[in-house]
Structure 1
Amino acid sequence: MRHQLSFACDGAALAATLDAGSGTTGLLIVSGGNEVRSGAHRGMATLAQRVAAAGHPVFRFDRRGIGDSEGGNGGYRGSGPDIAAAIAAFRSAAPQLTRIVAFGNCDAASALLLHQPLALDALILANPWTYDDDGDESDEPALPPATAIRARYWSRMKDPKSLLRLFRGDVDLRKLVRGLSAIGASSAPAAPESLPAKLDHALTSLARPATILLATGDRTAQAFVEKCRPPGVPVERLDSASHSFAGEDAEWLTGRILERLS
């Protein structure tokens, strides 16, 4: 059964949804970006329904300034109090809980790392966000990760139509040279105050089990692989480009989560 409720965070009323279950291990879903708690195309609502059907309570919420919640939107970097308040509200709404596992995708995964320690028993981190907030001020857009460029060019080299376009002169040689030069470029070490460095530090000092889930064709996941080196943290990969594990990928995601709730 699904219940709508609210809880307080620093004087603001936050909206939440509890999918009830009788189990003693619950799942806290932290939304990424500025998405509401139902997720893209109701993906998180569907995930919650599936996990609750297996007997595990699931708690979702809109952080301050998002969706039905009051307050100002402080982004994922300012969401620590929101997550902590949601954990307390989850325990109050489902008092039988002895364990809470948190799941976050994209910058929600990064938030769960940046705001440690939190009163959680395990983390499931999908496609963690590693780009610092400062945008690229150059005239040209930032290149995708080298792994994505390699995969793209290898695919095109095997495609006769792409080779024909090259021979006809239909390919922008400037972009081609720029992309090829990035393939062999080595990644510079992350600056100490950069987001990747902070995530690496958080992963190294984690006091609870964590699992990283990556969609190998997703640029955010590819950037994480290039920029971060999670020591001893299990990584599971899905051959998909879906950042939000949409469509058939949702079953894979549900299965990985249920494994860690059991």
Structure 2
Amino acid sequence: MSRLPLVFECGHSRLGATLDTARGTTGLLLVSGGNEIRAGAFNGQARLAAEIAAAGYPVFRFDRRGIGDSEGENRGFRKASRDIAAALQAFRAMAPQLTRVVAFGNCDAASALMLAGGAGFDALLLSNPWTIEDASDDTPPPSAVRSRYAEKLKNPRELARLVTGRVNLRKLARGVMQAARPKSAPSSLAEEMRSGLQQFAGPVRILLAENDRTAQVFTDNWDSKDARIARCPHAGHAYVEPHARQWLREQILAALA
């Protein structure tokens, strides 16, 4: 296994990429979310790529236009389909043994893959898809508040705090009122993502980190009975917790196998 830095073309721009080589005929293409460079948060995607390649699967990572080492204008995840298509083409060219390519995207990278109807991949791993219309609204959805209070009620220490008056009753009342709010209608972005995903005929797995607000909002915007959903308990957005890193790696390896 070796790690190769490279560039490829997308329109009139040159994009930076990294290939972790392996002999497998199934490969993984990592799509970065937000304005994150291809190394990922705290180098997480680079570490993940090395682990997956060590298991025998080549891994391709790239910077979207206007991000990191890539030229061009950053037009956001809604306009990322050309970048993703060019990355897939470059991956296949650099690893000609590939017969199958799986895409993994976290946050709005997952949304971009859904909006692009699967973007030409053979299978999709969609992690914590972004469905938030107003990014400035940091209020957790009612379902997340209810879940949090349900967990507190199971904890003897929290019950003791309530009985002994060590709980801020005003804050508690606000939380109860928030939890009682009805479920809001799905966002228009979520409906676009649903429509795009319906165009994809391959295998799909939706991965949700249960402590992540983005995943919680997605749950409110999606069918909770969707059999493609898998949840990682006590995990944050980037799966930095040791058990979450292992869970994510196992989910990816299962999709590649």
Instruction: State the TM-score, normalized to the length of structure 2.
Output: 0.91
Change (3 A) 1:142 1:48: closer
CA contact (8 A) 1:27 1:57 kept: yes
Could you tell me how far apart the structure 1 residues matched to 2:103 and 2:126 are?
8
Q: Which of 232, 241, 246 is residue 247 of structure 1 equivalent to? A: 241
1:111 deviation in Å?
0.6
Could you tell me how far apart the structure 2 residues matched to 1:228 and 1:13 are?
36
Helix, strand or coil at the partner of 2:238: coil
Point out where structure 2 has 5 or more consecutive residues left out of the alignment.
Answer: none
Helix, strand or coil at the partner of 2:140: coil
CA contact (8 A) 1:102 1:122 kept: yes
Bigger shift: residues 40-49 or 222-231 = 222-231
Helix, strand or coil at the partner of 1:44: helix
Structure 2 residue 174 is the aligned partner of structure 1 residue 178: yes
1:111-260 to 2 correspondences below 5 Å:
111-132=112-133, 134-135=134-135, 142-157=138-153, 158=155, 159-160=158-159, 162-163=161-162, 167=165, 171=168, 173=170, 175-190=171-186, 194-229=188-223, 233-248=227-242, 249-260=244-255
1:135 deviation in Å?
4.6
Could you tell me how far apart the structure 2 residues matched to 1:252 and 1:24 are?
23
Could you tell me how far apart the structure 1 residues matched to 2:33 and 2:121 are?
18
Percent identity, aligned pairs only, is: 48
CA contact (8 A) 1:7 1:89 kept: yes
1:172 deviation in Å?
6.3
1:176 deviation in Å?
3.4
Could you tell me how far apart the structure 2 residues matched to 1:118 and 1:231 are?
25
1:81 deviation in Å?
0.6
Could you tell me how far apart the structure 2 residues matched to 1:34 and 1:225 are?
23
How many residues get paired? Answer: 252
Q: Which residue of 2 aligns with 1:57?
A: 58
Change (3 A) 1:135 1:255: closer
Could you tell me how far apart the structure 1 residues matched to 2:135 and 2:230 are?
30
Change (3 A) 1:179 1:50: same
Could you tell me how far apart the structure 2 residues matched to 1:177 and 1:112 are?
40
Instruction: State the TM-score, normalized to the length of structure 1.
Output: 0.89
1:57 deviation in Å?
0.6
- Can you list the C-alpha shifts for 1:133-189, whole angstroms capped at 9, x where unaligned? x455xxxx5420122211322344441464268x36x6261x433321222222232
Paired AA for residue 143 in structure 2: T
Could you tell me how far apart the structure 2 residues matched to 1:247 and 1:41 are?
12
Helix, strand or coil at the partner of 1:236: strand
1:32-43 to 2 correspondences below 5 Å:
32-43=33-44
